[in-house]
Amino acid sequence: MEFGVNFFPAVDPARKSASTYYDESLQLVELAEELGFAHVRTGEHYGSACGGYSPDPVVFLTAAAAQTRRIRLVAGAAVSPFAHPVQIAARLALLDNLSHGRLDAGFAHGTPRSGLFGVPGKDSAAPVEETAEACIALWSGEEVRFEGDVHRFGPVTGFPLPYQRPHPPVFVEGAASAGACARAGARGHHLQLSPVPGGRRQAQRLTGAYRAARRAAGHRGEGRVQIAYTCYLGTDREVTLAAARAGEDHRARLTAGAGAGTGAFRADVRRPLPGAAGATAHDYDYDYDGGYDFGDGYDYGGGYDFDRALAGHQVLAGTPDDVRAQIETIHAWYGSGSCLSLQFNPGHLPYGRAVRAMELFAAEVAPAFTHSPAPAPTGAGAGARAAAGAAGAGGGRGGRGGGPAVAATAAA
């Protein structure tokens, strides 16, 4: 099983500036490479403290590429309704060249906040699939005339071509919809998911649809299923769970200001969505084929329930023994080919706590699934992080550290 590091900032600007968050995150990118994590991932979000520090995955991942040598760079994902495919293909290809072929290209649906760009949430399913196909065509090096339901352009030849040929691995957000997962499988793409509130039954419904469609279309292998999780890890269970509860409650409050939520968080569906022409979350059909289908028994209303989220395996929290057991359950749900993209630094927690959690995970959790010991942090970067951890704060970025670490997260 494979593990990577995910950055989805839920940060109140009054508590942490953007520059401090970026400095801390890029130090954690260096640490992730030293500890053998397989990838670093970030996405694209606008207009809210929940995700708003991540408006451009290409820019962040370019900075990450400059400070690393081995680790994969996952755009998780570029939100296709927000830009034209010619622009998206060119920017992703640029990153792939700058990193010498380390890009995994992800494409996502819009959320209700796509209304900020004049794209209603109901219209966001077609563009994500069309955009992925358009980018693949543009990466071919041939002259392209594209005729889709939404995008029509050409003749045009894409420049630059990506470093990886014929193109980087493509991931598509499944968005908790069996229909979207099946379409990703039929096209031979890999899949990105968030923790589903429907538990084992819903997880197996989504991955089953994906893998069945992939096999039916004749694609080799089962494909990769990448699931994003927040991970709170420490040696003292009570202290760690208290920090996790506070952190998740903080995220839920920020999410409440961003419109509809998922999982154990239930948004106020009557809340007006800024920039969406007076629409509310209730106006967005999250059960449409290609959008969000949370399984039987899901309803909106209420608030965030951390205990329910933890029991439902929507968040990882506790000691190394606790988290190992949680991951064993998750792996059984999603099956072979699944990998976890772990957020250790939601942004509001002390930087040193994220450092300690990553080191603890690499040393005491990952080897149970990868059969490889984690390397110890090395180099100037590790020293800078140790000093920052002792102070409980971020600070400037450290050095690049040692050479590429032995991958503790090689697929088992």
Which of 134-143, 214-223, 298-307 shows the lowest mean pLDDT across its residues?
298-307
Classify residue 302: in a domain, yes or no: yes
CATH of the domain at 62: 3.20.20.30
385/22 Cα distance (integer angstroms): 14
Residue that wins the pLDDT comparison between 265 and 233:
233
Classify residue 388: in a domain, yes or no: no
Classify residue 398: in a domain, yes or no: no
Classify residue 226: in a domain, yes or no: yes
Q: Note the pLDDT of residue 121.
A: 52
Render pLDDT for 25-74 as a digit per residue (tens, 0 to 9).
999 999 999 999 999 999 887 777 777 788 899 999 999 999 999 999 99
Write out the residue range of the structural domain in which residue 237 sits: 2-381
Beta-bridged to residue 339, according to DSSP, are 2, 226
- SS3 state at 339: strand
Confidence band for 380, pLDDT divided at 50, 70 and 90? very low
Classify residue 367: in a domain, yes or no: yes
Render pLDDT for 338-375 as a digit per residue (tens, 0 to 9).
999 999 988 778 899 999 999 999 999 999 998 655 56
Classify residue 409: in a domain, yes or no: no
Confidence band for 290, pLDDT divided at 50, 70 and 90? very low
163/155 Cα distance (integer angstroms): 23
pTM value?
Answer: 0.81
Averaged pLDDT, 334-341: 93
Confidence band for 102, pLDDT divided at 50, 70 and 90? very high
Classify residue 258: in a domain, yes or no: yes
Looking at the structure of the chain, the number of domains it has is 1
Q: Note the pLDDT of residue 410.
A: 31
SS (H, E, C) the chain: CEEEEEECCECCCCCCCHHHHHHHHHHHHHHHHHHCCCEEEECCCCCCCECCCCCCHHHHHHHHHHCCCCCEEEEEEEEHHHCCHHHHHHHHHHHHHHCCCCEEEEEECCCHHHHHHCCCHHHCHHHHHHHHHHHHHHCCCCEEEEECCCCEEEEEECCCCCCCCCCCCEEEECCCCHHHHHHHHHCCCEEEECCCCCHHHHHHHHHHHHHHHHHHCCCCCCCCEEEEEEEEECCCHHHHHHHHHHHHHHHHHHHHCCCCCCCCCCCCCCCECCCCCCCEHHHCCCCCCCCCCCCCCCCCCCCCCHHHHHHCCCCEEECHHHHHHHHHHHHHHHCCCEEEEEECCCCCCCHHHHHHHHHHHHHHCCHHHHCCCCCCCCHHHHHHHHHHHHHCCCCCCCCCCCCCCCCCCCCC
For the ranges 102-111, 154-163, 282-291, the maximum mean pLDDT occurs at: 154-163
Lookup result for tokens 């069996």? 178
Which of 88-92, 174-178, 220-224 shows the lowest mean pLDDT across its residues?
174-178
Render pLDDT for 298-327 as a digit per residue (tens, 0 to 9).
333 346 789 999 999 999 999 999 999 999
Classify residue 406: in a domain, yes or no: no
331/115 Cα distance (integer angstroms): 36
